[in-house]
Structure formats: structure tokens, C-alpha cells
Amino acid sequence: MATAGIDTRHARSCRSRGGGGRCNCAPTYQAHVYDQRSGKRIRKTFPSKAAAKTWRQDALVALRTGKLTATRKLTVRQAGEQWLADAERGVITNRSGDRYKPSAIRAYRQSLRLRILDDLGERQFAQITRGDLQRLVDRLVADGLAPSTVQCSLLPLRAMYKRAISLDELTVNPTSGLRLPAIRGGRDRIVTPAQATALIDALPTAHDRALWGTALYGGLRRGELLALRWEDVDIAEAQIRVSRSWDVAEGCDVGPKSAVGRRTVPIASRLKALLAAHRLAAPRDGHVFGTTGTGVAGIRHVTKRADDAWQAAGLERITLHEARHTYASLMIAAGVNAKALSSYMGHANISITLDRYGHLMPGNEAEAATLLDAYLDRASA
């Protein structure tokens, strides 16, 4: 007896096909429901009629509550291409609600090309399971990739599945609950105030001394340094207004890393002197550190010039990223509170500052014990 929404499917050799005889195979049962929102029918095949009926009843309830919808049969490759195109057009935004920076889109495209698509590119996007991704992670680890590289490789997939769920195209995110390798890298190098002074003094030009001084005493990121304009620098008021970054590959200004990347950074006296000296020899408008050195080759040239000067002076080199970490350590040592530092650094929230630099902040075990003893003595008096 036929049941609504369930079709009996016989083997090709079965005598019952075409109504010519009794069934001599083990038939399967295909249940189906109609999704009005997508205009598509959802089908699933089961070995027993009871299982098909149970799935169909559950599916009808899931359709009414919005927990089930027909999915497009895109491969992971096709889904990735579509996501990247939408991100480039600004249809998809990042966690802060801002457009993805070109550098982030390039990194996602590279991760997909190098580590995802060879294994999963031709698989259906909607049918990827957590087990599939865990096996991929295990293979990347076995290949010797660094834990941070493994985690970054999954970022485009996380974004793609998050988007699919927000559009009600999927109900399960296979990137959730994965066991990923722990990142236990060493901390970046931080120099002392005396070392920072020596590094800056060893540089050959006012331009280079101001650039590295702004990194060490202002904490600006590399892209923010390259995009900095003189109109953003108020030497009289001792403030730098950070409002843009520079995309080295694209060769143009872009928005800051996040919404809180737009910020005002105080100019210390040492940095004020470096910027003032540079301004005497530089144009009064345009980029503070010039536009000719903002490409990939230009950055390498600036870094090599500094490396050569430090090697000649017998000093250990520092990177722009390590200079930013040094700025944080100097501010903490000077007594600047974590909330203010988080603002000056352009961190999305204070927890990032605490996680990254909490080990530098005052309040070690001995000090904490002293404070507790003092409180207990006062309370007992």
C-alpha cells in the first residue's frame, strides 16, 4: 500500500518493476518533503519503510520551524569561490561588521588553494562532516605544519559555514568541536628603553629614525605606519590619529584592521622630537613616511637598511611587529592601565590586551600576597 511522501524503489532486475510480477529484491524507501521557501524537494533514502516514515515526520516539523531547508548542491570549491566573491563585493562582512580587507581575502584564498581544495574541493559543501575536517586537520599536523598554520587554514571554512548557517542553508556547522593543535610559540622579542634608544640612534636618516620611533613609542602596525599622513599627526597637541592602513600588495590605503583600529595615540616627547626632525626634511603633506617605500620591495629596502645599520653598530635587530610589542611593554612599565593601552593599541577588546601582555603587568605573586596581607591586617584591626 502506497504511503504519501514515500516511494518504494526496486532493483532494476526486480520482477515487480512495471507491474509484471512479485517483488524478488530488497527494496529501499525514498521519503520526500517539499520546501516552499526554496521551491525544492528534499529527499532521503532508507532501507526500511518505518525509518522513511519517521524521517519524513521529523522533516515536516523541521520545515515548519525553519530548522530544515533544501541546500544548493555546491562543491566546496564553488562555495569558496562564491564566498570570496561576496566578500570582495562587501556583501559579507567580518565580525566587526566591516568589509574584509584585501589582505584577509588574499589569505583566505591562499589557504583554500594550498590546503583545502586538493582534499575537499570536489566534495559537496553541504555534506562535509566534522569527521572529514578532523581527518584533514590530522593530515596537516602529520605533514609537519605549525599549529598556527593549521588553525589559520580552517579560517575560510569557518567563515563559509557560518555564512551558510546564517542564511538557513545549513543547520550544523562541521567546523565546531574540532580538536586542533595547541599554539605554544615563544613570546616576541621586547627591548628595554636603553636598547630602543640605541636602535633608533644607529639609524642613518631622520626618516628611518622617525619610522622606527613611531613603531617603538607609538605602537602602530606596519600598514598603519605606511598609511600615516602628516594631516594625522598633530605635533603641537602630541597626538597621532590612526584612521587607515596600507595594503602592500594592492598599493593603496584601506580601512584599519577593525573598527577600534581608528584611534588616537599620544606622542611622547622622544617621539615628538623624532617626528619634528623628520618633518624638517620631508614634505609637509602626503604620507609621513613617503609613498615610494610602501610596496613590498620598499618595505624590504627599509628593513634591510635598518638591519645593516644595526649590524654595523653591533646591535641585535628588531622587527616592526616586535617594536609594537615593545611599545606595549614600555607603556605597562610606565603604569598605563590595561584599558587605556587596549585603546592605544587598537585591540578589539581588552581581553586581547590582557591575554597578550598580562604577563608584563604589575601584580605578581609577591605583590598580590602583600596586598592581601595589608587588607587582612586592616580588616582585623
Each domain of the chain, given as residue ranges in start order, spans 6-65, 76-166, 193-360
Q: What is the DSSP letter of 171?
A: S
| Cα separation, 136 vs 61, whole angstroms | 34
pLDDT at 19: 67
CATH T-level assignment (fold) for domain 76-166: DNA polymerase; domain 1 (1.10.150)
Sequence-ordered list of residues with C-beta below 8 angstroms from that of 223, at least 6 positions apart, any chain: 245, 246, 247, 248, 254, 257
Two domains, one topology: 76-166 and 193-360: no
Grid cell, residue 290, equals 613617503
Q: Comparing C-alpha atoms, which of 102, 158, 153, 156 is closest to residue 130?
A: 158
pLDDT at 142: 93
Grid cell, residue 255, equals 580601512
pLDDT at 362: 60
Architecture of domain 193-360: Orthogonal Bundle (1.10)
Per-residue pLDDT tens digits for 362-371: 655 555 566 6
Determine contact, residues 225/211, Cβ cutoff 8 Å. yes
pLDDT at 94: 86
Which residues of the chain fall short of a pLDDT of 70?
Answer: 1-2, 18-20, 38, 69-72, 184-187, 249-251, 256-258, 284-285, 290-299, 358-371, 381
